[in-house]
Structure 1
Amino acid sequence: MAHLGLSPRQAGERLLARARRAPWWLSVLAVYAASRIVSTGILLHVASRQPANAWTPAQPGYFDFARLWDGTWYWIIAAGGYPDDIPRDEAGLATENAFAFMPVYPFVVRGVMVLTGLEFAAAAVAVSVVAGAVAAMLFHRLVRTWLDERAALLATALLCLAPISPILQVAYAESLHLAMLLGALLLLLERRYAPLAVLVTIMALTRPSGLAFALALAPLLAWRWRRHRRGLEPFPVRERVELAAVTVIAGLAGLAWPGIVALATGDLTGYTDTELAWRRPYVGPVELVPFTAWWQGARWWLGETAGPVVLALVLVAASASFALPQMRRMPVAIRCWIIAYAVYLLAVFFPQSSTFRLLLPLAPALGALAAGALAVRPRWLRALIVVTMLAVSIAGQYGWVHIAWWVDGIDWTPP
């Protein structure tokens, strides 16, 4: 063969050159497929140690293991829909129920079940895996708008191998929502507002994100208006109206599911009361007061003094990261999304083990991480950093599955 007689270095360089000539989407799908092999191996290893529990037998097969936790709620919705009212305990407090989970993912899975005859778990995993592949390709396209090909592919690998990436192949809505979000961000950069309005509406009924997206668009609108007034960038009246309209639509989409729940049950606060049921084991019966949950959670997890200090340090560090050159290269619209979603999490979510997967929509920040790693000199140190990042990501997957996914009988850290 032609490559016989080449040194190992020459053969490696030729192989690398061929890989670089491959279509971008083929490279991305290869990375995604390799990452799914890694995540599947980790999930199967942990499943082999899984004792019998309320959801699965001992040592369950992959599909049974993949529909644990919220997967059971999606199964209930796909099989029978939503309840007629909000279940409440003797004190009148809402208990955990299906209305906490939005309808797009379970209804898509239901459609696949009807079309293919698959059972829920297999259909749900299929939807998640395919949506994850779409998300990987859209992510690469998104970060490629400000990164070179090498950095974009590394960022994609970091996403596909991230500690929470097993969530991309289980019966959860994260894959589908991530694909929609990345598609929405691409449409935003391309200023295609009509399809953006449609996609954001569907996305907001897949995972809570409509209000966050509206919160991202509002400062973007103001920023572009200011640049227009200073003569730095045209901002035609039609585009102003379209962007403002999408901002309003995103906000309304964010309120749509709570409104639908209220109309369906006759319970005006049914959705928010349902969401509060999941934090009650930690902090008791509390009201939904914006920007208080993380303070409460920090004190619950880390103590009265250490908790607020650690929270403050994390917030300061996260804010300071936007001064880094790699973050400043990111399009303003993407930075607006990252800030808006982080603010949204701080406003309404209680920090617990499921918060790790809630950080997935911040994935565009991985572009800055990849760019920073590839800017390191000399070459040997850069290679060491990249390999270390990927190894830590894989180790983090095992840690996340061990901590959050399997059921050990006394679990209070659900994914």
Structure 2
Amino acid sequence: MIESGSARVRCAAGRDALFKRSAEVAVPAASLLGTRESARKNVDRARGAFARALPALGLYAAVRLAGMIVVAVCALLTERHPRTVLGHSWDAVWYAGVAQHGYGTVIISTRHPGRVYNDLAFFPLFPALQRAVSTVLPVGTVTAGLLVALVCAGLAAWGVYMVGERLYGHRVGVALVLLWGLLPHAIVQTMAYSESLLTALAAWSLYSVLTRRWLWAGSLAALAGLARPNGIAVAAAVVVGAAIALAREPRTRRSPRPWLAIAIAPMGWVGYLAWVGLRVGRPLGYFEVQRQWGTSFDFGRYTTRFGQHLVLDGGRLSYFTTIAVLFAALLALILLVLDRPPLPIVVYALVLAVMAFGGTRYFSARPRLLMPAFTLLLPAALALARARVRTGAVLAGGLAVVSLSYGIYLTMLAPTAP
């Protein structure tokens, strides 16, 4: 009897141990099922967002494909290779050089005494992606640059739509993408330049701020800081958005995510400048590299003097277009502020505008510096969304003619970089 009782006790203990182990196994299983369910919901949300954006993406693809075809035909008629025109001219040559050989190219100008062109002026993310694509796919560096630019342009258009939809609804999102794709300098979006990359990162970072996805916002801002010098505008928007959330929402203060976003957002920009400083042996070495190129920041004095000279003495078509774009950007910024969107949207546009207005030299490149500032188009997108369909179609058609024609001029005729 004693042995039988002991056996029953051992049996019960074994069952308890078995149930305990089963429970331990069941917890991770339930957690795994929850993770899969969450992933499935995220995929479904992404599909829904993409489906809503399809009209905007279709319009964008149509206008930009038309722009590329027109430039390609003009290039062939002038016995130039379309791939060279779009993928290996002006700044694209420098990006391709960094992608192929890394940093280290320095050219002393013969036309401008004292000017030194150093490839450290070009931020590393675009050539890094270019190199990665040419390593994985059987394509050359130039083709890889075009592929990166095209993919980034599509992602940028999607992100621009999501920001517009989040703020004002579907029609404004579609109008915002269409206007961004019909800018006078829109041909740059499908060249081997880094503007589309920065716009994609900025748009999705701003969308993450609007939807309180702080880690995404900070991480994308850090990448934007590795894409272009004016990528710091994205970090500024994220820091402001997170700071406002921390000040106004008590629950947010208990989460580490907005604090991490503030810390992460400027890391890419600051990190690259620090690396350049170490490479050249001076803490502010990057700004010295820029000065050797002939560029600096003078709070708009150069821009004002150049504009006065242009009005009095005349100049190239690209210069007059730049003046028109700068005035339009200033007006759009005022209208944007009056419309009172979320502050990060305004901060992002303001920083880009200040950097475009306040720089020196390379005057015809100012519209390209404003290319990522798609939030400046929000007032126009609101007006276009409210217009009648026929009115909107006529306006879009007129903008398309201007954009396609000016794209031909920039790539085929202009003596300065687009």
Shift of the 100–396 alpha-carbon distance from structure 1 to 2, 3 Å rule, reads farther
Report how many aligned residue pairs link the two structures.
360
TM-score (norm 1): 0.75
Separation of aligned partners in 1, 2:171 and 2:327: 32
Q: Is the 8 A contact 2:298 2:360 kept in 1?
A: no
Tell me how far 1:26 sits from its aligned partner. 3.1
Say if 1:159 and 1:82 are closer, same or farther in 2 by CA, change over 3 A: same
Q: Post-superposition shift, 1:126?
A: 1.0
What code does the residue aligned with 1:202 have?
A: L
Report the equivalent of 1:321.
Answer: 335
Q: Which runs of 5+ in 1 are unaligned?
A: 1-21, 51-58, 281-286, 377-381
Aligned to 1:246: 261
The answer to which structure has the higher helix fraction is: 2
Work out which of the residue numbers 295, 298, 310 in structure 2 matches 1:301: 310
Which range moves more in the overlay, 210-219 or 111-120?
A: 210-219
Alignment of 1:342-381 (within 5 A): 342-348=353-359, 350=361, 352-376=363-387
Change (3 A) 1:79 1:225: closer
1:397 aligns with 2:395: no
In the alignment, what sits opposite 1:65? 85
Match of 1:32 in 2: 60
- The percent of aligned pairs where both chains have the same amino acid is 21
- 2: distance between equivalents of 1:89 and 1:125? 28
CA distance in 2 between counterparts of 1:365 and 1:89 reads 36
Query: Residue 389 of structure 2 corresponds to which residue in structure 1?
Result: 383
Matched letter for residue 188 of structure 1: V
Match for residue 237 of structure 1?
Answer: 253
Distance 1:273 1:404 in 2: 29
Q: What do residues 136-173 of structure 1 show as CA deviations (whole Å, max 9, x unaligned)?
A: 11111111102232232222222223322221221111
Gaps of 5+ in 2: 1-49, 314-319
Q: Deviations over 1:168-190 (max 9, x none)?
A: 22111112221111111111112
3-state DSSP class of the match of 1:102? coil
User: C-alpha displacement at 1:210, in angstroms?
Assistant: 4.2
Aligned pairs for 1:273-284 (under 5 A) are 273-279=288-294
1:96 deviation in Å?
Answer: 1.5
Matches within 5 A, 1:188-199: 188-199=209-220
Question: Partner letter of residue 390 of structure 1?
Answer: A
What corresponds to 1:101 in structure 2? Answer: 122
Larger radius of gyration: 2
- Tell me the residue number matched to 2:139: 118
Q: Which amino acid aligns with 2:290?
A: E
Partner of 2:158: 137
Which of 1 and 2 has higher RCO (CA within 8 Å, sep 6+)?
A: 1
Equivalent residue letter for 1:275: Q
Task: Summarize the alignment of residues 144-155 of structure 1 with structure 2, pairs less than 5 Å apart.
Answer: 144-155=165-176
* Distance (Å, rounded) in 2 between the aligned partners of 1:312 and 1:71: 24
Secondary structure of 1:172 counterpart: coil
Q: Tell me the distance in 2 between the aligned counterparts of 1:214 and 1:200.
A: 5
- 8 Å contact 2:336–2:378 — kept in the other structure? no
CA contact (8 A) 2:120 2:289 kept: yes
- Which range is displaced more, 86-95 or 72-81? 86-95
- Alpha-carbon contact 2:75-2:82 (below 8 Å) kept: yes
CA drift of 1:340 comes to 2.8
Range that drifts further, 396-405 or 111-120? 396-405
Give the Cα separation in 1 of the matches to 2:335 and 2:196: 27
Q: Pick closer, same or farther for the CA change 1:49–1:293 going to 2, 3 Å.
A: farther
Q: TM-score, normalised by structure 2?
A: 0.75
Summarize the alignment of residues 216-235 of structure 1 with structure 2, pairs less than 5 Å apart: 216-217=237-238, 219-220=240-241, 223-224=244-245, 228=248, 234=250
Q: CA separation of 1:126/1:319 partners in 2, compared to 1, >3 Å: closer, same or farther?
A: closer
